[in-house]
């Protein structure tokens, strides 16, 4: 049964939750980082579910797979920024671990979805 809406995709739902988590996490960062790493992390986090949604609405598996690849790129960017924030002590060990767990799960789901879309082409 085909998925009718991106809102039905569990990976999109988890990516939205992850973006909200990142916004809450970065709210505790130093104020001088508001236009630095905080802004970059928030944009990367929002980019993940946004690209899933946009790709799904393209109505082509090939286009959808391309947007999933872009979402994976944004996820990798965010994971890099999370590590930098951890090393700068802007992020607690527990916050970093929770973010890493969520990122790993979303990454696995995105790679699986991309593989499925590639098989159907």
Query: Greater confidence, 1 or 24?
Result: 24
> Do 56 and 3 contact (CB within 8 A), yes or no?
yes
pLDDT band at 3 (very low <50, low <70, confident <90, very high): low
Would you list the DSSP string of 45-72?
Answer: HHHHHHHHHHHHTT--HHHHHHHHHHHH
> Do 64 and 31 contact (CB within 8 A), yes or no?
no
CA distance 18 to 15: 5
pLDDT band at 120 (very low <50, low <70, confident <90, very high): low
> Do 56 and 72 contact (CB within 8 A), yes or no?
no
pLDDT at 35 over 80: yes
Domains within the chain, CATH numbers bracketed? 10-120 (1.20.1440.60)
**pLDDT tens-place string over residues 44-82:** 999 999 999 999 998 899 999 999 999 999 999 999 999
- Residues found in the chain: 121
Which single residue is written with the structure tokens 């946004």? 50
Q: What is the pLDDT of residue 19?
A: 98
Q: What average pLDDT is seen over the chain?
A: 94
């Amino acid at each position: 049964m085909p998925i009718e809406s991106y809102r039905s995709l569990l990976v999109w739902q988890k990516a939205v939750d992850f973006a909200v988590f990142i916004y809450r996490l970065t709210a505790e960062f130093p104020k001088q980082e508001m236009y630095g790493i905080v802004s970059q992390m928030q944009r990367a986090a929002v980019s993940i579910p946004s690209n899933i949604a946009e790709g799904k609405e393209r109505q082509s598996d090939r286009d959808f797979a391309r947007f999933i690849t872009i979402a994976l790129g944004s996820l990798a960017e965010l994971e890099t920024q999370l590590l930098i924030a951890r090393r700068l002590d802007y992020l607690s060990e527990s916050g970093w671990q929770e973010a890493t767990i969520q990122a790993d799960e979303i990454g696995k789901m995105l790679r699986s979805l991309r593989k499925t879309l590639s098989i159907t082409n």
